[in-house]
Homo-oligomer: A and B are copies of this chain.
């Protein structure tokens, strides 16, 4: 097989585009997909400060690598969630990446800073993946705002987005469908802009990119996530993709281009400030879901707004 662009021997095949590329043209292809995402959707500009959330896996480190080489002002954030050896290796991978490239990485350890870790938290009513998701949503946002960043970038790829979309569609979570976008603008001073610059790049393409770029990433999946719904949904989509190539791409892009508008406004919620952390939260309760979870884990309630007034 020959590279579509330069006709040299190809090293990576991109079946859904019916194309193959040599090493350097493949890297150029991935960069072009990210540029199309960033510029096409106005994710951020060259003078804005970007916080990329890195896990030590292929996607987020590939994203960091791409944004650095495209000249963006980008720092990394690693959340230490205390998942034993897996977390330690992941942190080391992020630290090695940052020191080799002389870029800034912030490591934020929830056990030290917040008084809980995921394995302990998962002994409560929430699953490990639910605790982890809640912690990431809250902390990415809070740490970005505290650090003066304009935007949080995450490494979600096309396969991730398709699997999340499938989960939302299978339960017809119309509120989540309204929010499933590659760019979530800040609609409130307490909410950072969130972007997914890899949403046009398939999972095997981010893996190939990381390998070709010699990025030393952690291959292992989080051991607490084994068998979770998200992974099952990915397997289901993989099976369909096998017999109908291009399904994932058509599913995600068809949604974004034709169907997403049908759910516009379904996510409308009245936001108020959490009386503990001051971050915006919906629903009738005084505390946000994150503060409620952390309280139940650490036993420390801290003063509520009402208590402080007394």
Surface stretch bound by B, among A185-193, A233-241, A280-288: A233-241
Task: Find A172's partner among B174, B243, B244, B259 (CB 8 Å cutoff).
Answer: B259
Query: Is residue A227 within 8 Å, beta carbon to beta carbon, of the partner chain?
Result: yes
Query: Is residue A247 within 8 Å, beta carbon to beta carbon, of the partner chain?
Result: yes
In the bound complex, residues from chain B placing their C-beta under 8 Å from that of A263 are: 262
How long is the Cα–Cα vector from A226 to B286 in the complex, in angstroms? Answer: 56
In the bound complex, residues from chain B placing their C-beta under 8 Å from that of A211 are: none
Query: Is residue A254 within 8 Å, beta carbon to beta carbon, of the partner chain?
Result: yes
Query: Is residue A250 within 8 Å, beta carbon to beta carbon, of the partner chain?
Result: yes
Query: Is residue A102 within 8 Å, beta carbon to beta carbon, of the partner chain?
Result: no
Query: Is residue A149 within 8 Å, beta carbon to beta carbon, of the partner chain?
Result: no
8 Å CB contacts to B: which residues of A233-269? 233, 235-237, 239-240, 243-244, 247, 250-251, 254-255, 258-259, 262-263
In the bound complex, residues from chain B placing their C-beta under 8 Å from that of A243 are: 227, 229, 232
CB <8 Å contact, B174 and A251? no
Query: Is residue A171 within 8 Å, beta carbon to beta carbon, of the partner chain?
Result: yes
Query: Is residue A170 within 8 Å, beta carbon to beta carbon, of the partner chain?
Result: yes
Q: Report A139 CB to chain B, min CB distance, Å.
A: 28
Q: Report A293 CB to chain B, min CB distance, Å.
A: 23
Query: Is residue A224 within 8 Å, beta carbon to beta carbon, of the partner chain?
Result: no
How long is the Cα–Cα vector from A244 to B230 in the complex, in angstroms? Answer: 11
Chain A residues with a Cβ under 8 A of chain B:
169-172, 174, 227, 229, 232-233, 235-237, 239-240, 243-244, 247, 250-251, 254-255, 258-259, 262-263
3 interchain residue pairs of minimum CB distance: A172-B254, A262-B262, A236-B236
